[in-house]
A and B are shown apart, each in its own frame.
Chain A
């Protein structure tokens, strides 16, 4: 523990060794079981970003020296990160200032200043943590337009994330839905993540690769392979349920919502009389003569 304290540089930041030990114990209790082996505990401590942890906790404790160092290292980075996230200068500044206020501890709980930095546990780098927290704040702001629930608040309250409002139900061939669900259920979490990120979130292959720390070509091959494998699996399941190959392919390709829109478009077309003005003229002349 003493060695870790020296390595953290906490003394320079005004953090006492006992304070630091308490922080480590808090982090250990959060991520390791109470009966963890000492070797596992040591390994866990070794994996932490000790220096960043000491800096963050010293800032949370109000150390001026710690804040000076934090500002010199991260103040500008906060704006850069915010700019990258929001892609707009004014929003970026607002986001960065808002986060900075949370980090500094503008809010109080039970009469004590609460700094967001107190929740940093050193599992990742402090800069990475700042990015994540800022991204969460940004997502929260967008979600306020859809739902008024904060991710952090939910975490604190232990409330499960509320589902988004479902799209209006569209009648889907039951056999098709079952075949698709069966195929998706067999996917691994990582495969599902890749498909969701690429097809639902419209992320680039590079983004997905970066998130999973693999090469872009790996993701490219995986996406292609998964899409083909899903199609093959679904067609096979539909075939087992009595559909012919052609029927299965048509069922898979045709989206009922597209058909609905087509019908609406057709219903909104001009009437038949308007389409045949000469007939209309004859009809009018006949009415006038008659």
Chain B
């Protein structure tokens, strides 16, 4: 065996370097959002002026509202579709087209975004020429985001259902509960962590997406990543640093909350297992 001490130092080094690499750019971004100077690399003292400038930037504000609205709708549709799909894959071992269904659920997770975006745009354009609508904008972005969001939700729901103790459902059915009651009172509460994290995941993925939204949007809708992208292409701007910091806060807090929820659920599960084991 590797001497424990040497292994410990090696592991500690790997962790420090690895996490340093992952977090250094984010930390620097946050620090420089409080820089008084317009030049990113010159520290001219602490200031919140870029946050002030951001507040008065109407383009970013409108884009942020669009993004939040799209993300909330897309995440909700994703949750419904993805739960149904995850449930079907976990519980129905055999049905016609299961193989194709499984592929269509997993492929959007890895297919390059440019292809998803282009293919959906061509669909929407074809729809417009066949049926005269819908016009491209928030609706088409929402549909596109709901599609890949549903795939992520289905993976989470399916994984949690696979580990779910079915004896609970069977016991409830034996005791005379209707299937609907079992679903609402036993199954759904049992997979709540997957539902919460699935919704949040779909929400942040939608909030984050640049490529697919750029393809399927029309002249009427600009999302936040699209606004950021066109500003970033012109170079580093302190306003974007401030926006990034706000964005990090908006994402970190709910995710930290979800992480805490899941950790608590996991602790409880381990506790019940210990109690049962004794």
A binds B: no
Question: Residues on A close to B: CB < 8 A?
Answer: none
Question: Residues on B close to A: CB < 8 A?
Answer: none
